Amino acid sequence: MAVTQGRFSSVVREALNASTGQARLAGIVREALIVGVGLAGRISAQSSAKGAVTTTTAGVVLLGKIAATSSARASAQLRLNVAGTIKASATAAGYFLESASLAGRIATMSSGAMLRVGQVAVAGAITAQSKASAVVNLQVGGLKRQWGVTINTG
Amino acid sequence: MAVIMVEGFDKYGPANSNSTSVTALMVGEWTTITAVNIAAPLSATGQAVTNGGAMTLTKTITAVGRIIGGVRFSSVLTQNIGVQFLDGASSQCGIQIAVTGIINLRNGFYTTGTILGSSASAISANTTHYLEWDITLGNSASYNVYLDGVSIISGTGDTTATANNTISGVSLQVAAGTNLATFDDFYLFDSTGSTNNAPLLTSPRIETTAPLSDSAVQFAIGASVLGGTVARTTTNFSTAANQFYVRPFTPSRACTINSISISVNATSATVNLRPVVYSDSSGVPGSLLSGGSTVTGITAATIATLPLTTPQSLTAGTQYWLGYMADIAVTNAFQAYDASAVGRTATSTFSSGAPGTAPSTTAGQTTVLLWGNVTLASAANFYEVSQSPPPAADTSYVADGTVSDEDLYNFANLSAVPASIYAVAVKAFCKRSDSGARTVSLRMKSSTTDGGGSSTGQTPATSYAWIGSNFETDPNGSIPWTGVNLNAATTGIKIDA
């Protein structure tokens, strides 16, 4: 008498698992919200910013009314702004400047001199003398990318 | 919560005029990304965004009744640009920098709504300014707009155009054109909390740093790459019959290259490709180091990976030439990487195999978007997560699925120790490998204190996207950050559950 066989040609195990995938990280950064550098408000006598503090400063801003003399000097400085009314003289001198602007009313004399400047803008009313010179790159008003330009007015 | 968002626009890599690539890189950080390109920064470091068309860059936020923020901008002043405050998809109010240089605060849409106030003077074209705002939403609500730290518009009026006295989105917009406006150093605060609840008025900027080395790692390396994998231009490159193409690569770490991948733009079922790796000989390709068997066919928008028959070890700091050989012409076959044109081509009979000595090549060819898939000689997890920009695919990553495992990295120092640090955000470009449950937190370890910041237990999407967590104070003592302490802190990611 034949014995009844059980035949199987395949066997598998199926496990019901919780699906917990991996976390994949392709990039990570830190973003720090930090202060710029500002000299703001009315300066009636003399305002000066110079030296190591601004050596690698990203932003220097002189805002408001400066009645006598305002001077900002830095090396390896990346950005410099002198804005507002300057009644006597304002000088901005820096090296390796990326961008600099002298904006607003300059009543007597404004001077900006720098090497390797990315952008220089002198805007607003200049009633006496304004001088801006740059070795690498200079933008004055609507003029862009002039090389070694010196402008004297008044 | 006071900090809603800080965005330096630095983490998306170098200048990029391929809006599609940029969109993929910004996912998660921004909600709506239309016609955005990456440009040179307006502040000292990193990058900025500019418009590649009619630009809309919108961040959806939890609804707030008072919104404080700022952004650095420059405009050519030939198109309207502005900041739009949104309630859902509806405009509540907006700040317009008009083509005249006058800045307006308007009820409703930023270019057409009723003017609530205007600046007394105009800005000049192509000058960089820092715009800030402090706007309460309401029918008779106070508003103040600042330019370069000085109030230019203030008063009380109707700052809403919907029935809600809230906004749920902020959008940077440029009406039309290309490269007509640039935005940088963006922050958003609400008025809650004891700090970061008022306009900063200090020409603030955002400096982004990336991992420099491993501090403590538990994640496993998933994939490593040599070269960038994201297109930064929209141009393409065509193969030619019997084309020999290579471009230079210099690995920063010793590694073994296993295959070469190419970003494909056009479909061809019949083109035959072969990978090649050559040594450098006085600035041009020299001897064949490794090749591979023929791969037939390419499909548009699908990465073509060409395995090397024998993986080739590469020495850190040494230049090599990676590329391919093709047998037939395929118009616009591959995407270009950038505009550097460092590729070299020659004609070399495909059926003859890879030449033992590279043929004389012609320089100045398109830089094709191709890269090497490598195995590092010694594991370095920071390498996989500090590629710039972060790969948009699984070409370079670390991974882990064990609860409490954590990777921490040493980061680059800030370019200078700042006088004040208002807040630090940690951002990670990450995903889940499948739809299973997995949560993570972004970590900041200062001295011995390891914190997760404002948002822990985050669930990454199943496609790569940015997640973030804010650290308004140093977790070691909950004191204001100093530059020294931030530079010394380690940062990373942890599996929460």
Residue B260 included in any domain: yes
Residue B391 included in any domain: no
Place of tokens 């449950």: B437
Residue A8's identity, in one-letter code, is F
Question: Does B420 lie in the same domain as B367?
Answer: no
CA dihedral B88, B89, B93, B96 (to 10 degrees): 140
CA distance linking residue B213 with residue B467, whole number of Å: 22
Of B341, B376, B411, the last residue of a domain is B376
| Token couple for B31 | 């909600």
Q: Do A28 and B432 touch (CB under 8 A)?
A: no
Least confident of A82-96, B51-65, B135-149, B449-463: A82-96
Residue B73 included in any domain: yes
pLDDT tens digits for range A113-148: 444 444 445 544 444 344 444 444 434 444 343 333
pLDDT, average across residues B395-417: 94
- pLDDT over threshold 50, residue A75: no
Buried b (16+ CB within 10 A) or exposed e, B395-413: bbbbbbbeeebbbbbbbbe
CA atoms within 13 A on the CB side of B256: 11
- pLDDT over threshold 90, residue B189: yes
Beta bridge partners of B264: B334
Question: Does B10 lie in the same domain as B108?
Answer: yes
CA distance linking residue B61 with residue B32, whole number of Å: 12
The partner residue sitting opposite B148, judged by closest CB among A20, A30, A61, is A61
What single DSSP character describes residue B122?
Answer: P
Mean pLDDT of the residues in chain B: 96
Question: Does B344 lie in the same domain as B244?
Answer: yes
Buried b (16+ CB within 10 A) or exposed e, A133-143: bbeebbbbeee
CA distance linking residue B161 with residue B164, whole number of Å: 8
Confidence of residue A9 (pLDDT cuts 50, 70, 90): confident
| Token couple for B55 | 């630009």
Which residues neighbour A5 within 8 Å (Cβ) at sequence distance 6 or greater? none
Q: Do A24 and B384 touch (CB under 8 A)?
A: no
Question: Does B251 lie in the same domain as B215?
Answer: no
Report the candidate in A110, A79, A99, A104 with the shortest Cα–Cα distance to residue A139.
Answer: A99
pLDDT tens digits for range B233-256: 999 999 999 999 999 999 999 999
Which residues neighbour B158 within 8 Å (Cβ) at sequence distance 6 or greater? B107, B116, B138, B139, B140, B141
State which H helix or E strand residue A122 sits in.
strand A120-123
Question: Does B101 lie in the same domain as B238?
Answer: no
Q: What is the 3-state secondary structure of B295-338?
A: EEEECCCCCEEEEEEEEEEECCCCCEEEEEEECCCEEEEEEEEE
Of B344, B376, B408, the last residue of a domain is B376
Residue B339's identity, in one-letter code, is A
Q: What is the 3-state secondary structure of B23-70?
A: HHHHECCECEEEEEEEECCCCCCCCEEEEEEEEEEEEEEEEECEEEEE
Question: Does B404 lie in the same domain as B315?
Answer: no
Instruction: Please report the pLDDT score of residue B419 as a whole number.
Output: 87
**Range 116-135 of B in CB contact (< 8 A) with A:** 124-128, 130
Q: Do A29 and B426 touch (CB under 8 A)?
A: yes
Instruction: Please report the pLDDT score of residue A52 as a whole number.
Output: 34
**Which chain B residue lies closest to A39 (C-alpha atoms)?**
B202
| Residues in chain B closer than 8 A to A37 (CB atoms) | 203, 419
What single DSSP character describes residue A106?
Answer: B
Question: Does B240 lie in the same domain as B215?
Answer: no
Residue B387 included in any domain: no
pLDDT, average across residues B63-82: 98
**What is the nearest CA distance from A88 to chain B, expressed in angstroms?**
22
CA distance linking residue B492 with residue B411, whole number of Å: 10
Q: How far is residue B170 from each of residues B57, B110, B304, B469, measured CA to CA in Å? A: 8, 12, 39, 19
8 A C-beta contact, residue B369 and residue B384: no
pLDDT tens digits for range B318-360: 999 999 999 999 999 999 999 999 999 999 999 999 999 999 9
CA distance linking residue B27 with residue B49, whole number of Å: 14
CA atoms within 13 A on the CB side of A34: 26
What single DSSP character describes residue A22?
Answer: P
Question: Does B346 lie in the same domain as B447?
Answer: no
Instruction: Please report the pLDDT score of residue A145 as a whole number.
Output: 39
Q: Do A28 and B203 touch (CB under 8 A)?
A: no
Q: Which value does ipTM take for this structure?
A: 0.92
Q: Do A33 and B427 touch (CB under 8 A)?
A: no
Is the C-alpha dihedral spanning B165, B167, B172, B175 positive or negative?
negative
Place of tokens 């090649």: B276
| Residues in chain A closer than 8 A to B127 (CB atoms) | 101, 103, 121, 123
Q: How many domains does chain B have?
A: 3
Of B333, B360, B376, the last residue of a domain is B376
| Token couple for A146 | 């002039």
CATH, residue B57: 2.60.120.200
Confidence of residue A4 (pLDDT cuts 50, 70, 90): confident
pLDDT tens digits for range B112-123: 999 999 999 999
pLDDT, average across residues B400-429: 94
Question: Does B367 lie in the same domain as B408?
Answer: no
Instruction: Please report the pLDDT score of residue B388 as a whole number.
Output: 64
pLDDT, average across residues B136-142: 98
Instruction: Please report the pLDDT score of residue B369 as a whole number.
Output: 98
Strand A99-103 to A129-134 pairing: unpaired
Q: Do A33 and B6 touch (CB under 8 A)?
A: yes
Instruction: Please report the pLDDT score of residue A142 as a whole number.
Output: 41
Residue B386 included in any domain: no
Strand A69-74 to A46-49 pairing: parallel
Question: Does B36 lie in the same domain as B178?
Answer: yes
Instruction: Please report the pLDDT score of residue B92 as a whole number.
Output: 98
Asked if residue B389 has a cis previous peptide bond (ω within 30° of 0), the answer is yes
**More confident position, B23 or A152:** B23
Question: Does B118 lie in the same domain as B38?
Answer: yes
Which residues neighbour B256 within 8 Å (Cβ) at sequence distance 6 or greater? B311, B312, B313, B314, B374, B375, B377
Residue B394 included in any domain: no
User: What is the DSSP annotation of B142-196?
Assistant: EEEEEETTEEEEEEEE---SSS-S-EEEEEEEE-SSSS-EEEEEEEEE-S-SSSS
| Token couple for A50 | 């110079």
Residue B267 included in any domain: yes
Residue B392 included in any domain: no
- pLDDT over threshold 90, residue A69: no
Give Dmax (Cα) for chain B.
Answer: 80
CA distance linking residue B55 with residue B445, whole number of Å: 38
- pLDDT over threshold 70, residue A107: no
pLDDT tens digits for range A13-58: 776 655 567 999 999 999 999 987 543 333 333 444 443 333 333 4
The phi and psi torsions of B485 (rounded to 5 degrees) equal -70, -35
List for chain A the helix, strand, coil content (%; round to 5): 0, 50, 45
**More confident position, B196 or A54:** B196
Range of the domain at B301: 222-376
Question: Does B275 lie in the same domain as B341?
Answer: yes
| Residues in chain A closer than 8 A to B436 (CB atoms) | 18-21
CA distance linking residue B198 with residue B175, whole number of Å: 29
The phi and psi torsions of B20 (rounded to 5 degrees) equal -65, -45
Residue B18's identity, in one-letter code, is N
Strand order across the beta sheet in which A109-115 lies: A46-49, A69-74, A89-95, A109-115, A129-134, A150-153
| Token couple for A149 | 């330009």
Q: How far is residue B86 from each of residues A48, B53, B55, B171, B356, measured CA to CA in Å? A: 43, 21, 16, 8, 62
Report the candidate in A119, A126, A125, A154 with the shortest Cα–Cα distance to residue A140.
Answer: A119
CATH, residue B341: 2.60.120.820
- Using a CB–CB cutoff of 8 Å, tell me whether B384 touches chain A: yes
- pLDDT over threshold 70, residue B132: yes
Measured distance between the N- and C-terminal CA atoms of chain A, rounded to whole angstroms: 126
8 A C-beta contact, residue A147 and residue A138: yes
- Using a CB–CB cutoff of 8 Å, tell me whether B414 touches chain A: yes
Confidence of residue B392 (pLDDT cuts 50, 70, 90): low
**Which chain A residue lies closest to B480 (C-alpha atoms)?**
A34
Q: How far is residue B444 from each of residues A135, B215, B403, B410, B416, measured CA to CA in Å? A: 44, 12, 18, 10, 20
pLDDT tens digits for range B16-27: 999 999 999 999
